[in-house]
Chain A
């Protein structure tokens, strides 16, 4: 595998693709659809927010390895954060996957495995899909499907 590919498809990503975590919908949670018209991928992000804290996050849907792994890692990363902290994490994640190639990506712990997406401009939207859906819920504006276009 070429270096770029190894950077993109790290073992953690392949693992989350094979065995996505929190792959379900939350009964009584708020559900938001994210849609990527470029590839037809759809993801449903489901969140339970209580007293300003993200009590539970889950997702369902179909997508590429990057989209699925990113959604799966996101559910782990956001759980237990306050809404403000989760919004901040969204901004950090967006900045990481869109930052310039020559800048070191921000260290976001386990989420940093997705920094390799920076080298693949066409795949940034795959990594962002679930995050945009989650952001809509965090902002309290879930409605029409969130599109990455």
Chain B
């Protein structure tokens, strides 16, 4: 494990210098140092991402794929360059296997509608897990309603780990697609995705990986993983909002009908019949979020420059530190204690509602998420209406955790 090869002191010093690359982290929150621990909701942006977006608008702005003038050529080069960056980041075999979407949610909806519409029929099964975000539940419920397919759910155990035995039982000849998170946003559980994909392929099913959380904590290589579809969102990858990624294997994408109709996605249009553009444009109707793609491309270069060797080691060290420190606060119970976790500590405090925890710690400069985390079935599974969640990113330090723990003691004092 890389975690054992980097001394804690070195990771801490590096984290402090990484933190300085994020201008927003220098602001004060309610007169205190800002401890931003709501990264699973969205990450902050490094200076070079902000600069890339501003630079695009100040030197290259035009529409893509159509103009013959200088700025349109620059805009097209910047947009398609970003696609190359993203393809490299995810280890795609071809750049045209990268579809730009609005976010991970749109990627899942695209597959559920386009692939699902073609491949699902009455009695077929869609297999998800009990720890999915609503965005990897509802699109499949809609697809099942349209096609008569059946949604099956792999349970999780009391620690929040996927029940692999049940997965083996539920995976059957009717399973057409397995759609699962690689890293649970509510629990921090890392699922054994390579094993899941191997088993699914053996059963003849394709796999969609929801990488919204995983893609900025774990190095992702879609070919090595064997993923058929992989979705991610730009704003959690230290990039802008409004831009996401769908990776799909070429053969699968080629055989799928368009998701939305419009400009850029056609080869030719007559009132009798239209024909579709090639990949990836078949799935990118209308003017895309060009600046968003440019920002995302810059973000992936930034992450690769910092490097996952260090990021994974630093975040693992910090997660262990945070888990122990938060669990030691009297009255706190952790929700999600799976053996393989990353970046997320979800917890409840006896006698105090998570919302009240969130408000008190906010006034002490600490940003955490409180609520159901768009994962109501997970909350139901653990018998809580909501949790408080601290989630880490590369720029967090032990100082952030100490600030949170001090604030949690203040919560205890207020509600004693």
Q: Which of A40-70 contact B (CB under 8 A)?
A: 40-42, 62-67
How many A residues touch the partner, as a band?
20 to 34
Give the shortest distance, in Å, between A9 (CB) and chain B (any CB): 6
Chain A residues within an 8 Å CB radius of B413: 1
| Complexed CA–CA distance, A62 and B386 (Å) | 11
Complex CA distance for A149 and B15, rounded to whole angstroms: 39
Closest to A4 in B: B363
**Chain B residues within 8 Å of chain A by Cβ, number:** 21
- Which has the most chain B C-beta neighbours within 10 Å: A38, A63, A64? A64
Residues B355 and A9 in contact, CB atoms below 8 Å apart: no
Task: Report yes or no: A40 in contact with B414, Cβ–Cβ below 8 A.
Answer: no
A61 to chain B, nearest CB (A): 10
Indicate which residue in A4, A62, A65 contacts B356 across the interface (CB closer than 8 Å). Answer: A65
Could you say which of B101-109, B228-236, B370-378 contacts chain A?
B370-378
Q: Which of the listed residues B30, B359, B363, B370 has the most CB atoms from chain A within 10 Å of its own CB?
A: B359
Contact across chains for A40 and B359 when beta carbons are under 8 A apart: no
Residues of A in contact with B (beta carbons under 8 Å apart): 1-2, 4-5, 8-9, 14, 17, 38-42, 62-67, 120, 122-123, 126
**Shortest distance in angstroms between A12's beta carbon and chain B's nearest beta carbon?**
14
Contact between chains at A65 and B353 (CB < 8 Å) = yes
Q: Are A64 and B355 in contact (CB under 8 A)?
A: yes
Q: Which residue from chain A places its CB closest to the CB of B30 in the assembled complex?
A: A2
In the bound complex, residues from chain B placing their C-beta under 8 Å from that of A66 are 355-356
User: Nearest chain B CB to A67's CB is how many angstroms away?
Assistant: 8
B contact residues around A8 at 8 Å (CB) = 359
Q: A64-B356, A65-B356 are in contact. Are A40 and B370 (CB under 8 A)?
A: no
Q: Does any Cβ of A come within 8 Å of B410's Cβ?
A: yes
Asked if A63 and B363 sit within 8 Å, CB to CB, the answer is: no
**Contacts A4-B30, A40-B371 known; 7 new A-B pairs at CB < 8 A:** A9-B356, A39-B354, A62-B353, A62-B385, A64-B355, A67-B353, A126-B355
Q: Using Cβ atoms and an 8 Å threshold, which residues of chain A touch B385?
A: 39-42, 62
- Rounded to whole angstroms, the CA-CA distance of A123 and B360 in the bound complex is 12
Q: Among B30, B353, B372, B376, point to the contact of A63 (Cβ < 8 A).
A: B353
Decide if A40 touches B363 in the complex (CB within 8 Å).
Answer: no
B363 touches A2 (CB 8 A): yes
- Across-interface contacts of A41 in B (CB, < 8 A): 355, 385-386
Tell me if B379 is interfacial: C-beta within 8 Å of chain A.
yes
Least distance between B413 CB and chain A CB atoms (Å)? 7
CB proximity of A126 to chain B, nearest CB, Å? 7
Q: Which residues of B contact A122 (CB under 8 A)?
A: 359
Partner of A14, one of B355, B364, B376, B414: B414
Q: Which residue of B lies closest to A37 (CB)?
A: B372
Q: Flag if A64 contacts B353 (CB, 8 Å).
A: yes
In the assembled complex, the Cα of A122 lies from the Cα of B358 at a distance in Å of: 11
Task: Indicate whether B321 reaches chain A with its CB closer than 8 angstroms.
Answer: no
Cβ–Cβ < 8 Å partners of B382 in chain A: none
Q: Does B57 contact A (CB under 8 A)?
A: no
A122 to B356, CA, bound (A): 11
Q: What are 18 A-B contacts with C-beta separation under 8 Å?
A: A1-B410, A1-B413, A2-B30, A5-B360, A5-B363, A9-B360, A39-B355, A39-B370, A39-B386, A40-B371, A40-B386, A41-B385, A64-B353, A64-B356, A65-B352, A66-B356, A123-B355, A126-B355
Which residue of the partner chain B has the closest CB to A126? Answer: B355
Give a binary string over B130-173; 1 marks a CB under 8 Å from any A CB, 0 the rest.
Answer: 00000000000000000000000000000000000000000000
Give every chain A residue within 8 A of B376 (Cβ-Cβ): 40
> Who on chain B is nearest to A122 by CB?
B359
Kindly state the separation between the CA atoms of A134 and B34 in the bound complex, as whole angstroms.
Answer: 39
